[in-house]
Structure 1
Amino acid sequence: MPSAASRHSQVMTHREAAYTSRSARTDEEKGKMASMSHEDQLFMIRPDLIKKTSGALLRDLLDELQAPPRVISSREAEDVLQRTSVLQDQVTSLIDMVLKKGDRACGIMLSLLKELDSYLYQDLGL
């Protein structure tokens, strides 16, 4: 049985290899994405999501993530917005915050993304 450090290393290698834009992914990679954890899916789309998220979508995500089942607190939402005025940095901060909270939180964020902007969701290859 592999150690936790070994499993982490394998996951990180997998993540690093998969850290490409949607347009560079093959159909096979897109198919594999459906069987990945929510955390891995969010990690894979992270670069494109950072580039393509609008200010309005960011605010909507922050609002919805504060509603039950509360993925982030109001203080965390304020922190995302006040840490920097650069939209891409704010989106990066939110994604990283949600990734740290685990697979369930990532799944909620992905569901909200699908609900709030289905075109972007599809464009990201989900």
Structure 2
Amino acid sequence: MADQTLRGLRTGLVESLNRAVVTDLLDDLQERKIFNTGEVEEVQEGQRTTKEKARSLLDMVLRKGPRACEGFIECLRQRDQELCSKLQL
């Protein structure tokens, strides 16, 4: 269910996530052991723009399945309540 929710909100998230929140989410996901150091570096260093970073982050989370998506949503709710409210997440 969480993965379907993220798929439906992907465009809105890519358009709305800012660089600071993306960085914070990567830290949170690494702390929760959803992402490893290599995956964090791939998003941080492998993508130039904030939209590219957000797109890469979301795609990686979605590939990891529903539990990873639930963790991502929990972290996002803590980091950007305004965006979650806007997207009705």
What is the deviation of 1:84? Answer: 2.0
What is the deviation of 1:83? Answer: 1.2
Please give the secondary structure, in 2, of the residue aligned with 1:85. Answer: coil
TM-score with structure 1 setting the length: 0.69
TM-score with structure 2 setting the length: 0.97
Which letter does structure 2 place at the counterpart of 1:113? Answer: L
Which deviations, in whole Å up to 9, do the C-alpha atoms of 1:21-69 show, x marking residues without a partner?
Answer: xxxxxxxxxxxxxxxx00000111100000000100000000000003x
Match of 1:120 in 2: 83
Match of 1:98 in 2: 61
d(CA) in 2 for partners of 1:122, 1:56: 18
d(CA) in 1 for partners of 2:87, 2:70: 15
Runs of 4+ in 1 over 4 A off after TM superposition: none
What is the deviation of 1:74? Answer: 1.1
Which letter does structure 2 place at the counterpart of 1:106? Answer: C
Higher gyration radius (CA): 1
Higher helix share: 2
Which letter does structure 2 place at the counterpart of 1:81? Answer: Q
Please give the secondary structure, in 1, of the residue aligned with 2:27. Answer: helix
Q: Which runs of 5+ in 1 are unaligned?
A: 1-36
Match of 1:34 in 2: none
Equivalenced residues, count: 89
Q: Which runs of 5+ in 2 are unaligned?
A: none
d(CA) in 1 for partners of 2:5, 2:26: 19
What is the deviation of 1:116? Answer: 0.8
What is the deviation of 1:125? Answer: 1.5
Match of 1:12 in 2: none
Match of 2:49 in 1: 86
Match of 2:17 in 1: 53
Q: Percent identity?
A: 33
RMSD across aligned C-alpha pairs, in angstroms? 0.7
d(CA) in 2 for partners of 1:51, 1:104: 24
